[in-house]
Structure 1
Amino acid sequence: MTSRPARAPGGLAAYQARVVAEKRRAILDAAAAAFLQSGYDGTTLEAVARRAGVSTGTLFKRFPTKAALFEAIMERIWEAGPDAPASPLASTLPVREALRGIGRDYARLLRAPGVEGLFRVIVAEVNRFPELGRALYERGKKPYLDRLHVQLQAAAADGAVSIADIPLAARQLLGMINDLIFWPRLLVKDLPVTDEDVARVVDEAVETFLARYGRSA
């Protein structure tokens, strides 16, 4: 009896998974381009399907609504950025280094590819689609504020800082970073911001913060 050749382990499954991933990537790339070109309200799922080269059935199966599609695009940006734990723990590093680490992570998120353009879409459409703004805050800025709250509470307990209003102080620190790294690029297309610029902005923000709140930092 002739034996059949052995199938490569996971060969078919791996191929199918690769096809699914490629279609998803094509859909999200096409959707991002469509949202940037036509805005949130002006983009249709049918137009995205044509641009991606897939059937409308394939797109609707994966993303039944425009909101789900836009959320998936933003999710891809969050995934490409640094990890922000859901339940952040205070770092054991000295407060200066811990704050620099959070600031650099936040800056990397703000510089993720395509983030400025999609933020422009959200800003333009937030009055009609407030869920976009809520999702942006919950997945974008809030995790870093949460990390700062925990870190600053621990630093205050150790006597390294003296802060009467920790939520306000956390916003002040992130504000010093995004005011120089993100907002100019949101308003001026293709404005260059180098890694050296980012390091200097974060370091100076932390030093300014500690000059105001630090004790033994």
Structure 2
Amino acid sequence: MSKREERRGERRATILETAGACFLEHGYAGTTMSAVAARLGGSKGTLWSYFSSKEELFAACIEEKTEIFRAELVQVLNPGAPLRPAIEGFCRRFMAKIREPQSVALYQLLCGEGTRAGEASRIFYERGPGVVQALLVAFLSGHEAGGRLSGGTPLEMAQVLISLCTGISHQRALLGLTCPQGATQPPPPEKIADLFFRLYAVNEAEVKRVA
């Protein structure tokens, strides 16, 4: 990488960090390219030389924030991975990700803006939850074809597993509520995997053998 390319990469990273902070502070509808440029201390033209629109800038922020997580899921949901460890690994990483303060803040932001940020919601879904679901569906499809899972389509299985991972504790987090003393904490990944396999495993003995 040349010095020029290196400087451009560093500048792009700075733009994404600054824009991400603006989106979280002022919302998608309340953030403008001019405001981001002003916080950066440069001209609007410089910002536009990297991103042609606010939509493109927001999409790049989501891509940057989820890049490592997507790579982890690709590794965990490798088509050749044993079934049970992969399901537990997915649950563990997914539950940790959606409970990160920044993830909760982004969900709250988009839910709060409602229809005013319809484009932002679409961008977020396509590059966040949509990617997660697609990776999970592809993984489950292989095991369904291999005769280890049945009782629903891969899409239905993926949606059920994601729902089990989110649960009531995630709803409380989105509302800014902490779990009261004595309240039920999120079930461990192993427990969620047990529930999933009770619904869809062809037989538990086969799942344990593969794992």
TM-score computed with the length of structure 2 as normaliser: 0.77
Structure 2 residue 134 is the aligned partner of structure 1 residue 146:
yes
The corresponding residue for 2:192 is 205
Aligned to 2:26: 38
Q: Of the candidates 8, 14, 17, which is equivalent to residue 20 of structure 1?
A: 8
Point out the more displaced range, 179-188 or 140-149: 179-188
Distance 1:26 1:157, change over 3 A: closer
In structure 2, the CA distance between the partners of 1:64 and 1:149, relative to structure 1 (3 Å rule), is closer
1:26 is displaced (CA, Å) by 2.4
Aligned length: 196
Distance 1:17 1:181, change over 3 A: farther
Determine the structure 2 residue equivalent to 1:66.
Answer: 54
Tell me by how many angstroms 1:35 deviates: 1.6
Q: Does 1:90 align with 2:79?
A: yes
Amino acid at match of 1:127: T
- Structure 2, unaligned stretches of length 5 or more? 180-184
Tell me by how many angstroms 1:174 deviates: 0.9
Work out the CA distance in 2 between the residues paired with 1:36 and 1:164: 38
Local SS of the residue matching 2:116:
coil
**Distance verdict in 2 for CA 1:151–1:38, change over 3 Å:** closer
Query: What SS does the aligned partner of 1:135 have?
Result: helix
Q: Secondary structure at the match of 1:188?
A: coil
Counterpart Cα distance in 1 of 2:150 and 2:19: 47
1:65–1:206 distance in 2 versus 1, CA, 3 Å:
same
CA distance in 2, matches of 1:113, 1:138: 21
2:97 is equivalent to residue 131 of structure 1: no
Contact 2:152 2:200 in 1 (8 A): no
CA contact (8 A) 1:111 1:182 kept: yes
Structure richer in helix, relative to its length: 2
What is the TM-score of this pair, normalised by structure 1?
0.75
1:187-206 to 2 correspondences below 5 Å: 187-188=175-176, 201-206=188-193
> Aligned AA for 1:118?
L
- TM-fit CA distance, 1:190: 8.6
Identity %: 28
Kept in 2, the 8 Å contact 1:107–1:178? The answer is: yes
Measure the CA separation in 2 of the matches of 1:169 and 1:90: 16
What is the Cα-based RMSD across aligned positions, in Å? Answer: 2.8
- Higher relative CO (Cα under 8 Å, sequence separation at least 6) belongs to 2
Partner of 2:143: 155
Q: Structure 1 135/161 Cα, relative in aligned 2: closer, same or farther at 3 Å?
A: same
SS in 1 for 2:188: helix
User: Is the 8 Å Cα contact of residues 91 and 98 (structure 1) preserved in structure 2?
Assistant: no
Deviation at 1:81, TM superposition (A): 1.6
More moved, 54-63 vs 143-152? 143-152
Show the counterpart of 2:182.
none
- Opposite residue 91 of structure 1, the aligned amino acid is G
C-alpha deviation, 1:111, in angstroms: 4.7
Aligned partner letter, 1:212: L
> Runs of at least 4 residues of structure 1 off by over 4 A?
none
1:155 Cα deviation after fit: 2.8
Aligned runs of 1:96-135 on 2, under 5 Å? Answer: 96-111=84-99, 114-135=102-123
